[in-house]
Chain A
């Protein structure tokens, strides 16, 4: 579609804006979706991590509690038997060996005094830096609670400094001992918190979580685990022990879920989404493209049908003049197939290309014209002339020539380059035939009109003359009756005879007057005489003569000498004479003559200072002697449709002009020559009368073709050619 729709300048910005808006919205939506996705993923991940941390913390808390309770039972078991075993040290030692978290075991009496203590064989001795007494408060509190509740109780945790600046957070368990129903003191076990944590730690857990005991204010008491917690996913659990509440914290080593892997996923997702969209768009585009292709094929078929249905021939030529395209109408016109017509393109591309439809006799002229056209290129002069069209003659395959009308326009390709010529070729032979027909009709009509006039005049004349002649006849017959009367001459016979003779004389005179009036009518025309050039006279009748000649294929030769003479004549009458004589000549050659021999010569010569001689010479069979005798008799004719007035009228007209009309065999012994003379003007005013320019005179000596408008355009000559060659 060429961009020449009426409102394109206003539409694109709006459309572009809308499109940009659409794209922006699409991208925005995509971004929002992506962010939402990333956020969801991240939050999901953190929720999971938190959950896991919770789980770990809960498990660890349960585990630690269970451990401590087990230790409690183990310590109780040390002093279970009655009486108090003295070998508790051995048992305690054994216990400490198996339980690393149990650091210290001591025996106290009912007054809370330490009666015996035992330390773990692992590690440093507890209470080396500070004495037991200094760190006794929490233990005593626990023991008091235990005694009051009569069951074991844990103390609050407390820090025991160790040599080397180190220390350990510990927790005491005070188990009340009873012997025979009364207090027998306490057994106190000290546990290290760090070791407790280590006990519940699995290697996997140790890598991922930092377990620690914290105080309610967040102070870390002891920790375990290989890595430090990041403090992001933190879960705390309370370990509920008799006498004390421990706060266990699990801190995941993994930090906040990182954005990058999620972003990549989202990106992949987004890209696949985009891909899907693109595929969708592509599918739509392909579908639209297919529809467009279909439409294109349809419109191509439509155009093809249009071209095929055209009666106008179309022909495209490239700049070398070779045919690049023809439509069926053109092929039908010239009777050659498209392949034949375009064959020249391949074989003769550089040589002189002559299409088969050029009649050989005009090929040179056409070649010349094509060169001029091609040399003219795309210049403004060329196409302008071409658009008006020109007439020329083409040849069908069977050799028949036919007139065509050609309209040429330059072929311009998409880049604006001039690549050749497109011609529309119209076969105008039918049109020509119609023209010819209508001209013939016109001719016939005129002839009929002339005949009607003659006939009318004859009828009028006969009626007018009939009356006096009939009267005369009656009078004479009556007179004879009287003279022949058998009974002798009656008295009134003589006066009657006299009367009759007078009447006869009257009627005879009347008839004479009628004749004279006709003569006067003819005489009146004499006053319409004018002086004019013979070329003008002939020029006026030539179209009609040529029309007749074209029908029979007769060639007409004009010979007016170097300078056409001038004559004094009644122009209309003389035109009739010329028409009559030429028509006779042409008709004489219509039957039994070869086409080439059908030549009618019209020769005009000034033979005498006062006389101009006209000759109409045909090449027909001549005039038989019997016919020649009666040739000028009115109403004598050798033709079935003739009136027989032509030649006699001609002679009358010529003689009225003071000239003479006669005939004889042609100059070379063949055919017939009709000669008549007309008066030349007196040599007083040679420039008074009209005449054609000298050009017509100089070109008139050669042939019929050149007597018409000589033209540089070769195509125009085709009209003449059609006239002189049989078609």
Chain B
């Protein structure tokens, strides 16, 4: 259990229409020292989501989602979260009764973190939840690094940015010099400056940093 405390206090959202299930599970999570928040329906959770300030989440989160509920079903809510691009930061674990297994499997293929069949083995589920929270935390960290990279990118000169683009494309220095019409030596200087400013040691690291978020 290696949750980075710098990322904030993790929260587990439970969306289930059964009070008993919500209550008992919240209590179980509390016994594992995990914070949880219960919602009686998909609609109420979505409403809560809308009140959040973006970009959200600011701490590792995960969602326990019952498939079958009165009103909006868990699957519909899941689809909406996917549309918002929240699935990476908000991993979804489906709770299914018997008979819903095929739909749950389909949901996992569509990007859900996992599913558990009711009645579930309690601590095993909590272990899955912790994994989901870690995944959420990793995503959060990646986003923060990206933000930092964006800021340093602004500090680069025009020439340095040109050199960096070609470096990320994997061109050797000699070629870069030919393309930009400058000497190889100058390219090497620029390259070193870029690495220094971006706080990376290699071209691969640079590329990773500048990868499109979410991909």
Q: Which residues of A contact B (CB under 8 A)?
A: 463, 466-475, 477-479, 481-482, 496, 499-500, 503, 507
Contact = CB atoms under 8 A, between A and B. Distances in A.
B97 to A, nearest CB: 8
13 contacts: A466-B118, A469-B119, A470-B24, A470-B120, A474-B25, A474-B27, A474-B122, A475-B24, A478-B24, A478-B32, A481-B123, A500-B31, A507-B20
Contacts of A470: 20-21, 24, 118-120
B149 to A, nearest CB: 39
B21 A467 contact: yes
Nearest to B31: A478
B23 A496 contact: no
A482 B24 contact: no
B18 A477 contact: no
Top 4 closest pairs, chain A to chain B, by CB: A478-B31, A477-B122, A474-B24, A478-B28
Contacts of B25: 474
A499 B20 CA distance: 14
B119 A466 contact: yes
Nearest to B22: A471
Contacts of B120: 470
B133 to A, nearest CB: 17
A473 B27 contact: no
Contacts of A468: 20
Nearest to A504: B24
A496 B119 contact: no
A475 B24 CA distance: 6
Interface string B7-33: 000000000001011011101101110
A474 B122 CA distance: 6
A260 to B, nearest CB: 127
A500 B20 CA distance: 12
A472, A474, A475, A478 interface centre (most CB from chain B within 10 Å): A474
Contacts of A475: 24, 27-28
A479 B120 CA distance: 17
Contacts of B123: 477, 481
A471 B31 contact: no
A478 B23 contact: no
A487 to B, nearest CB: 10
B23 A471 contact: yes
A468 B24 CA distance: 10
Contacts of A463: 97
A477 B123 CA distance: 7
B96 to A, nearest CB: 12
B20 A478 contact: no
A664 B83 CA distance: 68
Contacts of B31: 478-479, 481-482, 496, 500
Contacts, number: 56
Given A466-B119, A467-B20, A507-B20, A474 B28 contact: yes
Contacts of B21: 467, 470-471
User: Which of B25, B27, B97 gathers the greatest number of chain A CB atoms within 10 Å?
Assistant: B27
Contacts of B97: 463
A467 B17 CA distance: 12
Interface in B96-150: 97, 118-120, 122-123
Contact of A503 (B27, B30, B118): B27
Given A471-B20, A499-B27, A481 B32 contact: yes
Contacts of B32: 478, 481
B119 A500 contact: no
A394 B122 CA distance: 73
Contacts of A466: 118-119
A246 to B, nearest CB: 158
Contacts of B118: 466, 470
Given A470-B24, A471-B23, A507-B20, 7 more contacts: A466-B118, A466-B119, A468-B20, A471-B24, A472-B24, A477-B28, A477-B122
B199 to A, nearest CB: 38
B121 to A, nearest CB: 8
B188 to A, nearest CB: 55
A477 B31 CA distance: 9
A478 B122 contact: yes
Interface string B156-189: 0000000000000000000000000000000000
Given A467-B18, A467-B21, A507-B20, A478 B30 contact: yes
Contacts of A479: 31
A550 B119 CA distance: 47
Given A469-B119, A470-B118, A481 B20 contact: no
A497 to B, nearest CB: 9
A234 B70 CA distance: 147
A463 B21 CA distance: 13
A484 to B, nearest CB: 10
B38 to A, nearest CB: 13
Nearest to A490: B33
Contacts of A496: 27, 30-31
Interface in B10-66: 18, 20-21, 23-25, 27-28, 30-32
Interface in B172-212: none
Contacts of A481: 28, 31-32, 123
A511 to B, nearest CB: 11
Contacts of A471: 20-21, 23-24
Given A471-B21, A507-B20, A478 B27 contact: yes
A95 to B, nearest CB: 172
A475 B20 CA distance: 11
Contacts of B122: 473-474, 477-478
B119 A473 contact: yes
With most chain A CB atoms within 10 A of its CB, the pick from B30, B31, B97, B118 is B31
Interface string B63-84: 0000000000000000000000
A474 B119 CA distance: 10
A524 B69 CA distance: 33
Most buried by B among A477, A482, A499: A477
A477 B120 CA distance: 11
A499 B30 CA distance: 12
B98 to A, nearest CB: 9
Contacts of A474: 24-25, 27-28, 122
A503 B26 CA distance: 13
A463 B99 CA distance: 12
A503 B119 contact: no
Contacts of B27: 474-475, 478, 496, 499-500, 503
Nearest to A493: B31
Contacts of B23: 471, 503
A470 B121 CA distance: 9
Contacts of B28: 474-475, 477-478, 481
B101 to A, nearest CB: 15
B210 to A, nearest CB: 43
Contacts of A500: 27, 31
A389 to B, nearest CB: 56
Contacts of A473: 119, 122
A40 B21 CA distance: 139
A478 B23 CA distance: 12
Contacts of B24: 470-472, 474-475, 478, 503, 507
A503 B24 CA distance: 8
B35 to A, nearest CB: 14
A455 to B, nearest CB: 13
A639 to B, nearest CB: 25
A475 B26 CA distance: 10
Contacts of A472: 24
Contacts of A478: 24, 27-28, 30-32, 122
Contacts of B18: 467
Contacts of A469: 119
A249 to B, nearest CB: 149
A391 B157 CA distance: 110
B30 to A, nearest CB: 7
Nearest to B28: A478
Contacts of A467: 18, 20-21
